[in-house]
Structure 1
Amino acid sequence: MPVTNWGNGQGKISMSGLIGVLQEAPLRLALFDIADSVCEHAHPQFHVLIKLSGDDRTFSVGDEICHLTDDKTIVIPPWLPHADLGESEGSTLMLAFYAEPRWIESQFGLHIRFPSAASQPVITGQVRRLLSQVSTFITDASASRDDIWDTTVQLMGSLLRHTNLRSGKLSDVAIDFRIRRAISLIHGQPHGIKRMDNLAKAVGMSRSHFYAQFHKATGIPPRIYVEGLMIEQAIHRLVDSRQSIKDISDDLGYSAQSHFCRFFRSKVGFPPSSFRQFAINA
């Protein structure tokens, strides 16, 4: 089936904001032109950033500063906090990939010792060729989802083979059973977690001990974890349902739609209306 939601559906790209989103479990692919900063956030997926054209960009990734350039990508492991610092004068046309860890493990045999640092594989000739194919498919309204999917999988594999991510098991750190319970509560209803103090109390821990143990287990503060899951909930509702943005905002516990839109844009880089407009659920 041809893809018609990339760009304007006529094989042309509008060089402003979000251009297209392709979602097909276990991958999400986004094409966008961005100039503004994006606040610190984290994803439950592997996250790959590739510059196509425009200015280089600077990201904080964990404790490191990474530069996205013509020659280097950024591969970010699950739940590693990162932010676009917005230091570039102009905009950047970028591709971003999000891949479920279990799929990465089964497809490419890559296990990540958690928490881990980012990797910046160099763009090889093979990666450039595959990247050119993906870009061509995105600008071609007659391209099929299968074409984009197959080439994207090849591209992901080529990039991950050149990463220096540490190999190991995700469960290297023994997790306090109370933190496991807290994580279960968060996954059950992330939008219901309004105060971290209440979550700490619910699992029988003091606030300070809860924060310390949660960070030890996950590598990130509980608030970033909750926000990451809320972003995913919002994205799936925008793509998979016909709920209005107001209804999504209400369901996620926001007192006003404007608050939800501001949160979404600060973490994703674009308003939820744009995300829905350019999303293709394959």
Structure 2
Amino acid sequence: MSTAVAVFHGRFGRASLYRLNRPLAPHAHREGHLIFLIDGAPAAVGVDGKEYRVDRHHAVAVSPWQPHDFRPSDFGQGAVFLTLYIAPRWFMEASSQIGHVMMRFGAPSIEMTPDLAGLLSRAAEGLSEGEATSRLLGTIQELTETAFEHTWAIGKRAPPIWPRMSDFRIRNAIRLMNERVTDACVLDRIARDSGLSRPHFYKLFRQNIGLTPNMYLNTLRLERSIDRLTHSDDPVTAIGLDLGFASQASFTRFFSNNIGISPTDYRRVSMVTA
């Protein structure tokens, strides 16, 4: 079973050490996402329909709202991965001195150079020791900036990933989804309230946002659940029921399929700093 070693939350986003031995369903994050192998067998990450390796020589970068999935090669003992979820606003503020204007990676594959390997080792050591300090935050910032530079250094240019939301009906649908994230069977009602048939709603949403309404709604539910797991003492069952799940088992299954570990395990190891 996949397990959590440590999770560190802060204004920057979150950093985690997981031992994973199960695939993750296709999903997306509003954060920039960096995936590194720490120990064990390699894995693959599917990004926009293409497969990229996470091994001793390569990491993977996923831009905000870019659909991706995770595929381990070891379904027994699993392998340990360090994953970063970097808030774009924090990144732009923290990196303003070197002129970054948005968080969009130049390419999904990152070659692990000695400088990246050294930063990765320091970050993994700080997380595993429960070091929720400014020193760890500084290492995470340096690791993120160095990885970002590496994705652009190879000279490739990727199309923008940021949501466009040019259609006012989709902007309205986004507002309704945020308001009704806890409702069951919400998407059909949102399509109707936005003046669209279900097929047209799904087509327009994909064209404007770059992912399906289901994946976007799942992202909202994950964000709400992570916030309550780390900032409240509410029982896991209550969190799941409040988010529209019929039982703790269904909520745990949803959380595990998208995050890799159970909500109880996630809460157990989480460290939070300002």
TM-score by length of 1: 0.86
Return the offset for 1:78.
1.2
For the pair 1:152 / 2:140, whether they are aligned, the reply is: yes
Which residue does the alignment assign to 1:230? Answer: 221
Which residue does the alignment assign to 1:127? Answer: 116
- The alignment of Structure 1 onto Structure 2 pairs a total of residues equal to 264
> 2:61 aligned to 75, 86, 89, which one?
75
Would you say the 8 A contact 1:55–1:89 is kept in 2?
no
Return the offset for 1:111.
2.6
Which residue does the alignment assign to 2:162? Answer: 170
The more displaced of 157-166 and 36-45 is 157-166
- Structure-1 separation of matches of 2:263 and 2:36: 22
For the pair 1:105 / 2:59, whether they are aligned, the reply is: no
Return the offset for 1:16.
6.3
Return the offset for 1:193.
5.6
Taking a change above 3 Å as real, the CA distance of residues 250 and 144 of structure 1, as seen in their structure-2 partners, is closer
Counterpart of 2:145, as a letter, is G
Counterpart of 1:100, as a letter, is A
- Structure-2 separation of matches of 1:263 and 1:169: 25
CA deviations on 1:101-125 (whole Å, 9 max, x unpaired) are 2222333314367xx8851121122
Structure 1 unpaired stretches of 5+:
1-14
Cα RMSD (Å): 2.2
> 2:23 aligned to 32, 37, 44, which one?
37
Which residue does the alignment assign to 1:255? Answer: 246
TM-score by length of 2: 0.89
Counterpart of 2:148, as a letter, is L
Counterpart of 1:69, as a letter, is D
CA deviations on 1:3-46 (whole Å, 9 max, x unpaired) are xxxxxxxxxxxx96110000001320000111111111111111
Would you say the 8 A contact 1:28–1:99 is kept in 2?
yes
Return the offset for 1:206.
1.4
Taking a change above 3 Å as real, the CA distance of residues 96 and 112 of structure 1, as seen in their structure-2 partners, is closer
Would you say the 8 A contact 2:2–2:260 is kept in 1?
no
3-state SS of paired residue (2:150): coil
CA deviations on 1:202-231 (whole Å, 9 max, x unpaired) are 111111221111001111010000001101
Return the offset for 1:166.
3.5
Counterpart of 1:149, as a letter, is L
Would you say the 8 A contact 1:61–1:118 is kept in 2?
no
Counterpart of 2:66, as a letter, is L
Counterpart of 2:139, as a letter, is T
> 2:81 aligned to 72, 82, 94, which one?
94
- Structure-1 separation of matches of 2:231 and 2:5: 18
> 1:47 aligned to 19, 33, 40, which one?
33
Return the offset for 1:100.
1.2
Taking a change above 3 Å as real, the CA distance of residues 33 and 201 of structure 1, as seen in their structure-2 partners, is same
